[in-house]
Amino acid sequence: MDDITEIFDLQKIKSTLVGNTDQIDTKTVMIAILNTLLHLNEKIEVIETDVKKIEDINTKMLSVIARVSEHEELLNDIQINSKVVEESVESIGKIINTALNHCDRNTDSIENIEERILAIENGGKSEQKETIKQMQDTITDLKCRSMKNNLIFSGLDFQQNENM
C-alpha cells in the first residue's frame, strides 16, 4: 500500500509538473511518467501473478467442491441403501420370530404327542400283558383238558356202566 501511495504521491507529482515553468523539462516529465508507468507495470505484474494464484486456488476449490458433491451423492446413496438393508433386516427378523414361534408351538405339540404315545404304549402294554396272561391260562387249561380226554389206558377193561 505504501508503494501505491508513493507512486501516486500527488505532492511530488505536482511539484515536478507544476514547479516553475522555467524548470519544467519535457524530458524530465516524460522520464518521471515512464518511471511511474514502469513501476505501475511491475505492480500490475505482481497483481496478475497473485490473481493467477487466486485463479489456481479457485480452480482447485471448484475441483474440491465437485468431489465433495460426488461424495455427498454417494453418501446419500449409501444412506438410502442402508435404510433398505435395515428394513430388510427388520423384515427378516419378523419372519424369524414368526418361525421361532411356530417352532416353539410345534415343539410343544410334539412333546404332547410323545407323552400321549407313551401313555398309550404303557397302557396298551399292561392291557396286552393281562390279555396274554389270560390267553396263556386259557391255552394251558385247554391243553390240560385235551390231554385228559386223549389219555389211553391200557390193560383196563371197559365197563359199560361206567360214568364218564
The per-residue pLDDT string of the chain (164 residues; one tens digit each, 9 = 90 and over) reads: 455 555 556 556 556 555 555 556 788 888 888 999 999 999 999 999 999 999 999 999 999 999 999 999 999 999 999 999 999 999 999 999 999 999 999 999 999 999 988 888 777 777 778 888 999 999 999 888 888 777 666 666 666 776 65
Cβ atoms 124, 132 nearer than 8 A: no
The CA distance from 11 to 83, in Å, is 74
pLDDT at 158: 64
pLDDT at 8: 55
b (16+ CB within 10 A) / e for 81-119? eeeeeeeeeeeeeeeeeeeeeeeeeeeeeeeeeeeeeee
pLDDT at 150: 72
pLDDT at 19: 57
pLDDT at 54: 96
pLDDT at 121: 78
Q: Where are the domains of the chain?
A: 2-139
Q: What pTM was estimated for this model as a whole?
A: 0.43
pLDDT at 126: 77
pLDDT at 147: 81
Cα Rg of the chain, angstroms: 63
pLDDT at 48: 96
